[in-house]
Amino acid sequence: MIIQKSTNPRISSFDPNNFAFGNTFIDHMVICEYENGKWGEVKVVPYGPLPFSPAMMGVNYGQACFEGMKAYKDKDGQVFLFRPEKNFARINKSAERLAMPAVTEEMFIGGLKALVDLDRAWIPEGEGMSLYIRPLIFATEEALKARIANKYLFAIVATPAKSYYTAPVSVKISDYYSRSANGGVGFAKAAGNYAASFYPTQLANEEGYEQIIWTDDSTHEYFEESGTMNVFVRINDTIYTPPTSEKILDGVTRDSFLQLAKRRGIEVKVEPIAVKTFIDAQRNGTLKEVWGVGTAVVTSVFQSVGYNGEKLELPRLSNEESFALTLQKDLVDIQTNQAEDPFGWRVLVEKNVMETV
């Protein structure tokens, strides 16, 4: 691995109390190029633009996928990744579905550790703070030909992060648009999945909703995901979430919530959630809470749900009453080294994992 340190670092001008998530980037990034059937040298280089052509195949034909993950800093300044092996496995699963080459563990895990170690000063400390990390793969071959590309770039960039949603949100159950379909790429973190969701979300925004609960493409009778999150429904004291499939992303936060709930002795049912079941539970008072989970947001609690032109209000629970917020705290405490990690999820990023070349 080659590490080229920036000669003009921007960390001295970074204000951890005043920054924009997703627009503020750390001093370095990881890049690795694929050509002639193999990946080249992994490099950590100063963050900045790269030269690409408008004829780049990733732009024209959509061969692009990514991951979302975070690094956390504890009160002693130690830095941790969270379950990076899950993201490593999933990016290769996405790449396979999009006919792109798999990345190696050295590229992914080694690149992550080297980057986070080098720019650990960019990780803000405090509640809700972290470093959001975006590994990605995309086709770079310059050719207007609808086929599998021969050149790719693997990269890792990162941005400081704070709490995503600070208040409960309103969501709308989709009865027309779908996020994915059988035989499609719903299980992959394909870039195009997100582009296709923007227009329906815009329509929902115009109706006063922040997000959408996506339903199945054939009948629109079953929940699938919510926005860019996996969805959870609590009826009485049982948590329900749809099973992962070729249409539903196997979320790392989702899996973590399920394991934490079981550890607390909360009944969990991984099974299809019918819209009718949800509506009936809201009408008869057994519906307690609904929320979404994902890396960026961690937990987004829903305050109301739109369906058939009606806005259905959901119960307002205290932090102690809410399963969503209780499990969120359990998760964040593990991520930030404030609690025991019985699962072995927390991965320490040691200092000086790589010498500068």
Name which of 158, 162, 114, 154 is nearest 137 in CA terms.
154
Q: Give pLDDT, residue 127.
A: 87
Residue 236, sorted as left (phi over 0), alpha (psi -120 to 50) or beta, turns out to be: left
Residue 168 CB: number of other CB atoms within 10 A?
Answer: 18
In one letter, which amino acid is 242? P
Q: Give pLDDT, residue 165.
A: 58
Bridge partners of residue 307, in order along the sequence: 310
**CA distance linking residue 343 with residue 187, whole number of Å:** 25
Q: Encode the chain (357 residues) as per-residue pLDDT tens digits.
A: 999 999 999 999 999 988 888 999 999 999 999 999 999 999 999 999 999 999 999 999 999 999 999 999 999 999 999 999 999 999 999 999 999 999 999 999 999 999 999 999 999 998 889 999 999 999 999 999 999 999 999 999 999 998 765 689 999 999 999 999 999 999 999 999 999 999 999 999 999 999 999 999 999 999 999 999 999 999 999 999 999 999 999 999 999 999 999 999 999 999 999 999 999 999 999 999 999 999 988 999 999 999 999 999 999 999 999 999 999 999 999 999 999 999 999 999 999 855 444
- Paired tokens of 291: 């929320």
Q: Give pLDDT, residue 204.
A: 97
Bridge partners of residue 224, in order along the sequence: none
Report the Cα 220 to chain-centroid distance in Å.
Answer: 24
Q: Which whole-number Å values give the CA distances from 46 to 4, 5, 22, 271, in the listed order?
A: 7, 6, 18, 46
Bridge partners of residue 328, in order along the sequence: none
Q: Give pLDDT, residue 356.
A: 47
Q: Give pLDDT, residue 164.
A: 67
Q: Locate tokens 């195949």: which residue?
A: 57
**CA distance linking residue 149 with residue 113, whole number of Å:** 29
Asked if 63 and 149 touch (Cβ cutoff 8 Å), the reply is yes
Per DSSP bridges, beta strands 43-46 and 2-3 are parallel
Domains of the chain and any CATH numbers: 2-162 (3.30.470.10), 169-316 (3.20.10.10)
Asked if 126 and 75 touch (Cβ cutoff 8 Å), the reply is no
Give pTM, 2 decimals. Answer: 0.95
